[in-house]
Amino acid sequence: MAKFLTSREENYSQWYNDLVIKADLAENSAVRGCMVIKPYGYAIWEKIQAELDRLFKATGHVNAYFPLFIPKSFFSREAAHVEGFAKECAVVTHYRLKNDESGKGIVIDPEAKLEEELVIRPTSETIIWNSYKNWIQSYRDLPILINQWANVVRWEMRTRLFLRTAEFLWQEGHTAHATAGEAIEEARRMIDLYAGFAENSMALPVYKGSKTESERFAGAIDTMAIEALMQDGKALQAGTSHFLGQNFAKAFDVKFTDQDGKLDYVWATSWGVSTRLMGALIMAHSDNNGLILPPKLAPLQVVIIPIYKTGSDLEKISEYAEKIKTDLGKAGLSVKYDTRDTQTPGWKFADYELKGVPVRIAIGPRDIANNTVEISRRDTLEKSTIPFTGIKEHVTELLEKIQVNIYNKALAFRNQNTHYCNTWKEFKEIINGKGGFVMAHWDGTAETEARIKEETKATIRCIPFDSVPEEGKCIYSGKPSSRRVLFAVAY
């Protein structure tokens, strides 16, 4: 089985690449570092989008859209911001092409040089706060709770499908508030929302916490993140939410008059998740047979496959199958009845396993005779034969069970691979060995953090919100520490 995929044990990153390609999720394009998201992959992204969009709206946010291009000068207004992004910006310098004089091909028209270059957004804080300046005068104009679904470009050196591409799709929330407290609350609300989404919809357990200063978003006061563990023991940052203080308000001169008539700068947050979530989803659950998708995000939840020898067999099976399809459809499930006679049942079984369809129903003459169906779950590959009556209830329950089981499995793995280390030796053994998360004491200095990174590649993923105060000694420097932080080698 699974001779079409490189196995996880053999080469985890090759397995991931194979899976993305063979499950027809995405492929590389003619443009370096940019991917084509194929229909099946995009369907999963649409499910992710739909649920997140619902959650954003349920917490009072609205969608808007800002330009792809940002005047170069906007970036220099916030010092830390420009420093963080300058190295990976694509820049538009001209607005016209013309035929080459020599008659061969087309060239940039040197006369069509832009007076001010435009940066293709790597993130939209600057262009958005430039607009907010005009929208905000009084506390009555606040808060502004806006989200944008967009593409952004970050000219990365090394790219990998979904995990790191030069162009990616994401959503970015940009909110404006009258008080620091309100903004902090908002930033925290959104990281909680992301964590809830990861756990409930993606079946992906995450650690929540704040980044250290060196890992913080360029221009933020506090960056909060959710961190997930992949099957190879590496961590993946799955979402971030930033408390931006008054940095962008100051950079773009966004002031408002409060209830006491005093003028103050506006407080900001921004938060986002990207198509990288697709990578997390793929890597966290899948196996050597292919994708394993949580039912809540599977574009196709149930597939029905007929097994027949003759045309009259197929007729009977189809009648039976169509009933099931209609029935399950009424229960709100997405069901496909695959009647293609160009592929054999065995081929279809393998293909839908590769694509991670959670539940498969096979119907053959045997089932017609016995009034049964064969039902198979993708997460455990278990098969059973069940009676035709009550199939709707059975499938609905099974999908819920699968959702829970996938989560529990990922949680167990995450917990088994979260180690509490007290010595440097032990720390290195785990990080260099099996990997995983390490909860360890840290003296709070950027120097120690950098040294640890240099020696082991491990970084502080976050200072977990729920880490309990505890007296200890930094594993590296031996200096006193009051709480453990979360280390891992990250993607």
Among 289, 301, 396, 481, binds RNA (CB under 7 A): 289
Helices (H), 151-275: 180-200, 247-251
- Asked if 89 interacts with RNA (CB under 7 A), we say no
Chain positions 160 to 179 lying near RNA, rule: CB under 7 A, are: 160, 163-166, 168
Cα–Cα distances (Å) from 266 to 252, 259, 481, in that order, read: 10, 13, 35
The one segment of 380-388, 417-425, 436-444, 467-475 that binds RNA by CB under 7 A: 380-388
- Asked if 92 interacts with RNA (CB under 7 A), we say no
Cis amide linkage into residue 387, ω under 30° from 0: no
- Asked if 88 interacts with RNA (CB under 7 A), we say yes
- Asked if 87 interacts with RNA (CB under 7 A), we say yes
| Closest by Cα among 137, 371, 376 to 256 | 137
Among 6, 25, 26, 33, binds RNA (CB under 7 A): 33
- Asked if 461 interacts with RNA (CB under 7 A), we say no
- Asked if 274 interacts with RNA (CB under 7 A), we say yes
| Closest by Cα among 318, 328, 375, 386 to 352 | 375
Exposure of 192 by Cβ count < 10 A (0-12 exposed, 13-18 middle, 19+ buried)? middle
| CB of 257 or CB of 405, closer to RNA | 405
Q: Which residues of 120-147 are buried (b: 16+ CB within 10 A; e: fewer)?
A: bbbbbbbbbbbbbbeebeebeebbbbbb
The one segment of 243-251, 269-277, 440-448, 461-469 that binds RNA by CB under 7 A: 269-277
The one-letter code for the residue type at 17 is: N
| CB of 208 or CB of 441, closer to RNA | 208
CB of 147 to RNA, least distance (A): 16
Q: What number of H helices and E strands is found in the chain?
A: 14, 27
- Asked if 159 interacts with RNA (CB under 7 A), we say yes
CB of 143 to RNA, least distance (A): 24
DSSP E strand stretches across 258-330: 263-265, 267-274, 302-306
- Asked if 212 interacts with RNA (CB under 7 A), we say no
- Asked if 17 interacts with RNA (CB under 7 A), we say yes
- Asked if 407 interacts with RNA (CB under 7 A), we say no
Task: Tell me how far apart the alpha carbons of residues 30 and 35 are, in angstroms, rounded to a whole number.
Answer: 9
CB of 216 to RNA, least distance (A): 9
Q: Name the β-bridge partners of 418.
A: 437
Task: Tell me how far apart the alpha carbons of residues 211 and 201 are, in angstroms, rounded to a whole number.
Answer: 24
How many residues make contact with RNA (CB under 7 A)? Answer: 62
Task: Tell me how far apart the alpha carbons of residues 231 and 194 are, in angstroms, rounded to a whole number.
Answer: 21
| CB of 182 or CB of 374, closer to RNA | 374
- Asked if 374 interacts with RNA (CB under 7 A), we say yes
Cα–Cα distances (Å) from 149 to 47, 166, 237, 274, 436, in that order, read: 14, 17, 19, 10, 32
The one segment of 107-115, 252-260, 337-345, 428-436 that binds RNA by CB under 7 A: 337-345
Query: Which residues of the chain form contacts with RNA (CB under 7 A)?
Result: 1-4, 13-14, 17, 22, 28, 32-33, 84, 87-88, 154, 156-160, 163-166, 168, 217, 225, 237, 240, 274-276, 289, 307-309, 341, 344-347, 349-351, 353-354, 360, 362-368, 374, 376, 381, 383, 385, 457, 490-491
